[in-house]
Amino acid sequence: MAQVEVFDEEDAREPLFVGEFGFLPRAGESLSIEVDGAFSYYRVTEVWFRHDEESDAFQPCLRVELED
C-alpha cells in the first residue's frame, strides 16, 4: 500500500504525519503513534483520496481526532 497522509484539521494544508500502512484504516477505527516514548491515540473520522495532478495518482488521506 502507498503512503497515507494523515490530517488533524479539516482545513489543514500539511499533514500531521505521513505513514506507510499495510491497509487503509476506515472511519471509526483508532491509530496509536509513539513519539518520544509516549503514545498518542487518534480516531479516524474521514477517509478520502486526493488527486495529484502532477503524477495523475490518487493519494490516500485520513482525517483524525486526538483522543485523550
Mean per-residue pLDDT pooled into runs of 10, the chain (68 residues): 88 93 95 92 96 92 93
Full domain range(s) for residue 43: 1-64
> Looking at the 3D structure of the chain, how many domains does it have?
1
Identity at 63, one-letter amino acid code: R
* Global confidence as pTM: 0.86
pLDDT at residue number 1? 65
Contact 49, 58 (CB under 8 A): yes
Residue from 65, 57, 55, 60 nearest 20 by CA: 60
pLDDT at residue number 68? 75
d(CA 63, CA 48): 9
pLDDT at residue number 7? 96
